[in-house]
Chain A
Amino acid sequence: MRSKIILIVLISSLAIFAQNKKEAHPNLNGISCKTCHSCDIPTKENPCIKPCPRDKMVSINQSPEEGPNVLVIDKFKSQSNIYAPVVFSHRLHAEMSGMAGGCKMCHHYNPPGQVIGCSDCHELMRKRTDVSKPDLKGAYHRQCMQCHRSWSGKVDCVSCHEPNGTNQKNKEQAITEKSSKRIHPQVITPTVLKFDTPKAGGKIVTFYHSQHIDLFGLECQSCHSNESCAKCHIKEKPASLKAKTADQKHAVCSNCHDTKSNCNMCHSSTTKEGFNHKSRTGFDNSKFHASLSCSRCHLEKTKFTGLKGDCINCHGKWTQENFDHKKTGLAFDENHSGIECAECHQEKNYSNPVCKNCHEDKSYPKNVPGKLIKKK
């Protein structure tokens, strides 16, 4: 009896946990808990979050407007008598982080579901036992100095802090007012970029920027890594940055493309067409497969050849029972609902259905064996 009760309690607690998981991470479909947590059952008290770097971690991004506008960082008020708390224009900084990684740029442990603040992980007290990560004060300053230092080279405190005793209210109001509307322009993603290169016989590289984002699913920082404010804003670039070797120029592309042996893939004497699955491979993926990510079918990373266009390659054998024909935009009438697929579809790719097996005088698409509906 006792063991039964324990079993019931255990099962119900697991059920509660499952519910909590959905509540805590509503956007997490099909992602294993073990991606971020090291134990089997993470709880609020012991989330057992894996230590950094969590490069495989799933993060979410919010728009700058969703976060707070202005934050007064006054957690150390009692500890410091030199400087007043910083009034931090959070929204403006969120706007600026657009291309450099978004929220993740500062909120580097950013679990799906919510963006968590620095103090959730970093301890308030400097004297502590866990020295694997900086304390809260260190964490704040490191985030700020990382950009501000490369931006201006200055490390003076009064850039951000007012000396203690000055009127904080005025500053807070001024910053709130200033950042209530968008200040930093939104990052514009170009559609196509044309590069003039010195390569003989292939001067032009046509780069479909939007395709790399929308079609291939790359994020800004997949290519624009380590880009701080200075990347755009410093006018005088040091000479060493301007003169790049061929390898340096190809570095961004060669992360995914073979830039050593296949020049004509990108270089051409004329403007190139963008990527089109049908014209490149012969398989038209625009009908039913447009929303899939490449890796859904091309399982091997960076290898995109060798797949056959036959449906059964991926889908197995279709029968009347396991295939919902409504998906194609055609709902059968009663007479046609029990027929084997092959009666009408004689080709392997299920295109061009025929009626002649049963009807001598009918043909598709002139006659329809049911009702045309909206594709699901």
Chain B
Amino acid sequence: MANQSRRDFLKQAALVGTAVTGLSTKSKAAPKNSLSEDRMGVLVDTTVCIGCRKCEWACKTAHNLETPPLESYEDRSVFENRRRPDSKALTVVNEYQKNESEKIPINVKVQCMHCDHPACVSACIVGAFSKQENGSVIWDGDRCIGCRYCMVACPFQVPAFEFEKALKPDIKKCDFCFARTKDGQIPACTEICPVEAITYGRREDLVKAAHEKIKNYPHRYINRVFGESEVGGTSWLYLSSKEFEELEFPKLGKDPAPGVSEAIQHGIFAYFVPPVALYALLGGVMWINKNKKNDQETEI
């Protein structure tokens, strides 16, 4: 794949495009989106997270990204600004101050949610994104053409683009440590977390554990697991002591995000009707013009 020529690639893209468009009315799910019952997930308990940012360090180390030394992560002044995952940091932790009477702040880790029905997968026109059986949503740099549709489609605005690179810029996002989990390891952030505020496990078990926690500690948690049903469910799930919207989680419905983007895309390209119609229209205009011209010529 890596040594593929541009010509080969375009050929393949055209073939795939034709096939996908041809099937589009039937295929609701994105390509390669197999939802295994045993797919993994992470339960983030924001009431437990202490904001030590060890996960940020572990993530960068695991993904060979440039990182300052571990000790420097104890600097809490970074929390003064709200941060987003970008091409240099695939996960970040933010801090939300509670009101004055409760002195302990709330820390929220942000990264790709690894949707069960990922909008990026369905928006990607070359199939560079895929939902893996273990729950990860990963990106294949060899296929990407840099259109950045994924960035627009993502309801969590996670995929980042290496704008600073002139040559071969990549899309960067949390890959659920796909390389590590393939080897039987757990994601780097979940391994380093000192308080295990992020628990890696089967998604199904995590949902159960989350509801059990809410039942047992009704004063500690609000009765909602973010990610259980948002945009059709996500691999990463969150527990919180206050409304998620107050912690700047996006307000999302229960319908999978691809539903929207797919409807538009598939609508445009369904059965090649719009291009054919367009050419037919143009052809029609040409034909009328030609007739007019002929008429004018015969009049003279």
The answer to whether B196 and A137 have CB atoms under 8 Å apart is: yes
Q: How far is the CA of A26 from the CA of B216 in the complex (A)?
A: 30
The answer to whether A153 and B205 have CB atoms under 8 Å apart is: no
- Known A126-B190, A155-B51; contact A142-B195, beta-carbon cutoff 8 A: yes
Q: How far is the CB of B55 from chain A (nearest CB, A)?
A: 13
A174: chain B residues at CB < 8 Å are none
Q: How far is the CA of A322 from the CA of B217 in the complex (A)?
A: 50
- Known A126-B196, A138-B193, A141-B194; contact A149-B216, beta-carbon cutoff 8 A: no
Instruction: Report A's interface with B, CB cutoff 8 A.
Output: 51-53, 82, 126-129, 131-132, 134-135, 137-139, 141-142, 145, 149-150, 153, 155-157, 230, 238-241
Q: How far is the CB of B219 from chain A (nearest CB, A)?
A: 10
A127: chain B residues at CB < 8 Å are 185-186, 200
Q: How far is the CA of A6 from the CA of B265 in the complex (A)?
A: 72
User: Can you report 11 residue pairs joining A to B where beta carbons are below 8 Å apart?
Assistant: A51-B216, A131-B205, A138-B195, A138-B197, A141-B196, A142-B195, A145-B194, A157-B194, A238-B103, A240-B99, A240-B101
Q: How many B residues have CB within 8 A of the partner chain? A: 31
B217: chain A residues at CB < 8 Å are 53
- Known A53-B217, A131-B206, A145-B50; contact A241-B101, beta-carbon cutoff 8 A: yes
- Contacts across chains A and B counted by CB atoms under 8 Å: 71
Q: How far is the CA of A238 from the CA of B97 in the complex (A)?
A: 15
Q: How far is the CA of A332 from the CA of B209 in the complex (A)?
A: 66
B199: chain A residues at CB < 8 Å are 131, 134
B74: chain A residues at CB < 8 Å are 155-157
Q: How far is the CA of A135 from the CA of B43 in the complex (A)?
A: 14
Q: How far is the CB of B78 from chain A (nearest CB, A)?
A: 13
B51: chain A residues at CB < 8 Å are 155
Q: How far is the CA of A243 from the CA of B93 in the complex (A)?
A: 34
- Known A141-B195, A155-B51; contact A129-B103, beta-carbon cutoff 8 A: no
The answer to whether A132 and B212 have CB atoms under 8 Å apart is: yes
Q: How far is the CA of A135 from the CA of B197 in the complex (A)?
A: 11
Residue of A nearest to B186 (CB): A127
B216: chain A residues at CB < 8 Å are 51-53
Q: How far is the CB of A129 from chain B (nearest CB, A)?
A: 7
Interface residues of B in 171-209 (CB under 8 A from A): 185-186, 190-191, 193-197, 199-202, 205-206, 209
Apart from A82-B70, A129-B205, A138-B196, 13 more pairs, CB < 8 Å = A126-B186, A129-B202, A131-B43, A131-B201, A132-B212, A137-B194, A138-B197, A155-B50, A156-B74, A230-B103, A238-B103, A240-B99, A240-B100
Q: Is B48 an interface residue (CB 8 A)?
A: yes
A128: chain B residues at CB < 8 Å are 201
Q: Is B144 an interface residue (CB 8 A)?
A: no
Q: Is B29 an interface residue (CB 8 A)?
A: no
Residue of B nearest to A82 (CB): B70
B191: chain A residues at CB < 8 Å are 126
The answer to whether B104 and A150 have CB atoms under 8 Å apart is: yes
Q: How far is the CA of A239 from the CA of B199 in the complex (A)?
A: 37
Partner of B101, one of A131, A149, A238: A238
Q: How far is the CB of A17 from chain B (nearest CB, A)?
A: 30
B20: chain A residues at CB < 8 Å are none
A241: chain B residues at CB < 8 Å are 101
Q: How far is the CB of A138 from chain B (nearest CB, A)?
A: 3
Q: Is B13 an interface residue (CB 8 A)?
A: no
A131: chain B residues at CB < 8 Å are 43, 199, 201-202, 205-206, 209
Residue of A nearest to B196 (CB): A138
Residue of A nearest to B50 (CB): A155
- Known A134-B199, A138-B194, A155-B51; contact A150-B206, beta-carbon cutoff 8 A: no
Q: Is B52 an interface residue (CB 8 A)?
A: yes
Q: How far is the CB of B173 from chain A (nearest CB, A)?
A: 24
A53: chain B residues at CB < 8 Å are 216-217
Over the window 79-114 of chain B, the binary record of Cβ atoms lying under 8 Å from chain A Cβ atoms (1 yes, 0 no) is 000000000000000000001110110000000000
A150: chain B residues at CB < 8 Å are 103-104
- Known A127-B186, A155-B50, A155-B52; contact A145-B209, beta-carbon cutoff 8 A: no
Q: How far is the CA of A138 from the CA of B43 in the complex (A)?
A: 14
Q: How far is the CA of A241 from the CA of B43 in the complex (A)?
A: 33
A134: chain B residues at CB < 8 Å are 195-196, 199
Q: How far is the CA of A242 from the CA of B93 in the complex (A)?
A: 33
Residue of A nearest to B185 (CB): A127
The answer to whether A153 and B103 have CB atoms under 8 Å apart is: yes
Q: How far is the CA of A240 from the CA of B209 in the complex (A)?
A: 35
Q: How far is the CA of A157 from the CA of B73 in the complex (A)?
A: 11
The answer to whether A238 and B206 have CB atoms under 8 Å apart is: no
Which of B100, B185, B194, B212 has most A Cβ within 10 Å?
B194
Q: How far is the CA of A51 from the CA of B52 in the complex (A)?
A: 29
Q: How far is the CA of A129 from the CA of B101 in the complex (A)?
A: 38
Q: How far is the CA of A240 from the CA of B196 in the complex (A)?
A: 32
Q: How far is the CB of A125 from chain B (nearest CB, A)?
A: 10
A137: chain B residues at CB < 8 Å are 194, 196
Q: How far is the CA of A131 from the CA of B50 in the complex (A)?
A: 20
Q: How far is the CA of A45 from the CA of B55 in the complex (A)?
A: 36
Over the window 115-127 of chain B, the binary record of Cβ atoms lying under 8 Å from chain A Cβ atoms (1 yes, 0 no) is 0000000000000
Interface residues of B in 206-224 (CB under 8 A from A): 206, 209, 212, 216-217
The answer to whether B196 and A135 have CB atoms under 8 Å apart is: yes
Q: How far is the CA of A359 from the CA of B254 in the complex (A)?
A: 93
Residue of A nearest to B195 (CB): A141
A156: chain B residues at CB < 8 Å are 52, 74
Q: How far is the CA of A20 from the CA of B213 in the complex (A)?
A: 33
A139: chain B residues at CB < 8 Å are 196
Residue of A nearest to B74 (CB): A156
The answer to whether B48 and A238 have CB atoms under 8 Å apart is: no
Which of A82, A129, A141, A230 has most B Cβ within 10 Å?
A141
